[in-house]
């Protein structure tokens, strides 16, 4: 009898441990993810609740890097209306962001006048990708290249994803942003 109870408890415990990973991330939302600003300070995504976000993995030495200027223009136009643009530097594609966080921040600011928030450099692909990109790519393909754009609604849900070649000032792209404001 004792052996049967111990076996039953063992089976229940084993089942729980096996299926726990499947249920853990199920209700994860963007506001639970921890990120750090480029200067190392904690960035509280929960404080952005109720505002649409555009999250872009950026690079300093990529053919798409001039998009930083267009992203800054979006920031100037839609920031006052509630849009938050979050630039996420990554060195995952061709080593196109080799600098340290301080150098990346200076480059973005000095070269393109970037004033929107930047995070510290992150891994955006592969098994070691940051939780933010786990969330953004869940159920879809991984990040293909620098300057992929992820549009998040006011409730923190991913509403659309755009590849690198999508212009931040393109008519359809701007219309999508306007719908979320």
Question: Looking at the annotation, which residues are catalytic?
Answer: 62
Tell me whether strands 149-152 and 84-89 are parallel, antiparallel or unpaired. unpaired
Q: Give how far Cα 116 sits from Cα of 72, 74, 96, Å.
A: 7, 10, 20
Structure tokens at 32: 């639970």
Phi, then psi, of 77 in degrees rounded to 5: -75, -45
Q: Give how far Cα 107 sits from Cα of 89, 93, 98, 103, Å.
A: 11, 18, 12, 6
Please give the order of strands across the beta sheet that includes 149-152. Answer: 84-89, 53-58, 149-152, 158-162
């Amino acid at each position: 009898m004792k052996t049967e109870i111990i076996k039953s408890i063992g089976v229940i415990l084993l089942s729980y441990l096996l299926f726990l990973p499947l249920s853990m991330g199920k209700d994860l939302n963007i506001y639970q993810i921890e990120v750090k600003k480029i200067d190392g300070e904690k960035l509280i995504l929960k404080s952005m609740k109720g505002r649409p976000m555009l999250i872009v993995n950026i690079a300093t030495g990529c053919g798409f890097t001039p998009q930083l200027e267009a992203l800054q223009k979006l920031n100037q136009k839609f920031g006052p209306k509630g849009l938050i643009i979050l630039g996420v530097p990554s060195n995952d594609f061709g080593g196109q962001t080799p600098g340290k966080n301080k150098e990346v921040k200076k480059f973005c600011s000095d070269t393109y006048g970037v004033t929107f928030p930047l995070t510290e450099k992150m891994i955006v692909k592969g098994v070691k990708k940051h939780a933010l990109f786990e969330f953004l790519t869940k159920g879809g393909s991984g990040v293909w290249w620098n300057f992929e754009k992820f549009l998040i609604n006011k409730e923190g849900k991913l509403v659309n994803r755009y590849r690198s070649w999508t212009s931040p000032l393109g008519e359809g792209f701007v219309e999508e942003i306007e719908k979320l404001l």
